[in-house]
Amino acid sequence: MDRTKVSLIRDITPDTEYIQVAGRMESIQQIGKGRTGRLTAELRDSSGKLKLVWFQGVNWIQKSLKEGAEYLIYGKVGYFNGEAQITHPEMELRSNEKQEGKIFLEPVYPSTEKLRARGLGGRQIGKLTYTLFSLLKEKDIPENLPTSLLKKLKFPDRYSSFRQIHFPSDDNEFQQALRRLKFEEFFLAQLKMGLVKSERHRFSKGVKFEQVGDLFNTFYQHHLPFQLTGAQKRVLKEIRKDLGGGKQMNRLLQGDVGSGKTIVALLCLLLAADNGYQGCLMAPTEILAQQHYEGISALLASMPVTVRLLTGSTKTAERKEVLKAAADGSINILIGTHALIEEKVQFQIWVLPLLTNNTDLVWLNAPNFGRRRRFIHICS
């Protein structure tokens, strides 16, 4: 909230949303009693007067208000019978030290009913945070980005960024801190991902998919419903190279709806089956899983490939049958939802659970594969 400026009451217009004014408290009176009661007062400055209204905590507020005292008032402007007023304003006595507004933008912190009941609303959290920063020094929040990078991107240092994200002197300072902290989060995430990828490629070995066999070739030559595009052929070539390289592969295949990602996934699943592997295709919803199952089953109807479906609504008897077939390896391709990663679902060997919220996930799995896995994310 911008409480760095103190405006005059006459500056209020129908377009004014929030405003901070200062003046003398006058005409404090309670109207009505009980639930229908309210407390009203007038704040007067050199330019006019503004009505203040309270509907809750009336008795406590009436005792705390001092008629004739000077107050700083902040709140949302509303209108009643054509007259501007502020309901339940934030206020504080205007002392010699608080003649003008704050020297920084005031932070707004989310809170809960339980926290507020214990005196930890947004304003109280703000006061605690401000006190904390008065105790901290720069060495307590050490820098984690190279100096050369800070200069190149014109970022504030880490200590200043944390202070400015809470108590910036203006919006420009806030945006600078926000930009730097967002960059830091992404930078460290990318660094971690790069390290994991490097370690995986250096020390983790995958089983090679060396054979392009009868299932893949038969489907490609006789059952493919359309000619693959150049992009699809290129992607398949890259995936086949990865799968034959003896390294773990994580690949993201991205394209518009209807661009043919599922056919690429199906060809990869057939490649796995040619090498003695089981395959899984996970969809985010039951409707999509059912569509995949029906479409893939129709495409493979004349081929010796067993395709089954497993979702949360699969009936008990059928579920038992599918679980048994997955465990003994008689299922070549299992299509489903997140039901595929339930603890009861056991494949011929252990499969490391992988979760996806809004994309299809393809597992390629094989005997003696251990905890290693290959998978392809397919998203639009």
- The full DSSP string for 158-179 is HHHHHHHHHS-SSHHHHHHHHH
Smallest CA-to-CA distance from 247 within 239, 255, 236, 257 is with 239
pLDDT number for residue 124: 87
Question: Rounded to an integer, what distance in angstroms lies between the CA atom of residue 255 and that of residue 187?
Answer: 26
Confidence grade of residue 21 (pLDDT, cut at 50, 70, 90): very high
| 206-257 pLDDT per residue, tens | 778 888 889 999 999 999 988 999 999 999 999 888 888 877 777 888 888 8
Residue type, 134: S
Picking from 30-34, 79-83, 337-341, which range would have the lowest pLDDT averaged per residue? 30-34
Average pLDDT, the chain: 85
Question: Rounded to an integer, what distance in angstroms lies between the CA atom of residue 16 and that of residue 37?
Answer: 27
Which pair of tokens denotes residue 81?
């019978």
**What is the distance of C-alpha 136 from the center of its chain?**
30
Q: Are 261 and 255 in contact (CB under 8 A)?
A: yes
Q: Are 245 and 319 in contact (CB under 8 A)?
A: no
Handedness of CA 339, 345, 349, 354 (dihedral sign): positive
Which pair of tokens denotes residue 246?
């003896």
Q: Are 351 and 361 in contact (CB under 8 A)?
A: no
Smallest CA-to-CA distance from 262 within 240, 241, 292, 287 is with 292
Q: Helices 171-203 and 158-166: crossing angle, nearest 10°?
A: 130
pLDDT surpassing 50 at residue 353: no
Confidence grade of residue 372 (pLDDT, cut at 50, 70, 90): very low
Model pTM?
A: 0.53
User: Nearest 5 degrees, angle CA 143-CA 149-CA 153?
Assistant: 110
Question: Rounded to an integer, what distance in angstroms lies between the CA atom of residue 230 and that of residue 328?
Answer: 38
pLDDT number for residue 302: 92
pLDDT surpassing 50 at residue 358: no
Q: Find the mean pLDDT for residues 44-63.
A: 90
48-54 and 83-87 beta bridge pairing: parallel
Picking from 224-233, 318-327, 354-363, which range would have the lowest pLDDT averaged per residue? 354-363
Q: Are 275 and 211 in contact (CB under 8 A)?
A: yes
- Higher model confidence: residue 102 or residue 263? 263
Picking from 105-114, 126-135, 299-308, 355-364, which range would have the lowest pLDDT averaged per residue? 355-364
Question: Rounded to an integer, what distance in angstroms lies between the CA atom of residue 365 and that of residue 299?
Answer: 21
Q: For the chain, which domains are there?
A: 9-103 (2.40.50.140), 143-203 (no CATH), 214-379 (3.40.50.300)
Place of tokens 């190149």: 152
pLDDT number for residue 203: 74
| 41-50 pLDDT per residue, tens | 999 999 999 9
Residue 323 CB coordination number (10 Å): 19
pLDDT number for residue 52: 94
pLDDT surpassing 80 at residue 35: no
User: Nearest 5 degrees, angle CA 26-CA 27-CA 30?
Assistant: 130
Picking from 138-147, 177-186, 248-257, 269-278, which range would have the lowest pLDDT averaged per residue? 248-257
- Higher model confidence: residue 32 or residue 324? 324
Q: Find the mean pLDDT for residues 70-78.
A: 91
pLDDT surpassing 50 at residue 77: yes
Percent with pLDDT over 90 in the chain: 51
Picking from 49-58, 171-180, 341-350, which range would have the lowest pLDDT averaged per residue? 341-350
Backbone angles phi, psi at 268, to 5 degrees: -65, -40
| Residue 50 to residues 41, 106, 291, 364, Cα–Cα distance (Å) | 8, 23, 64, 71
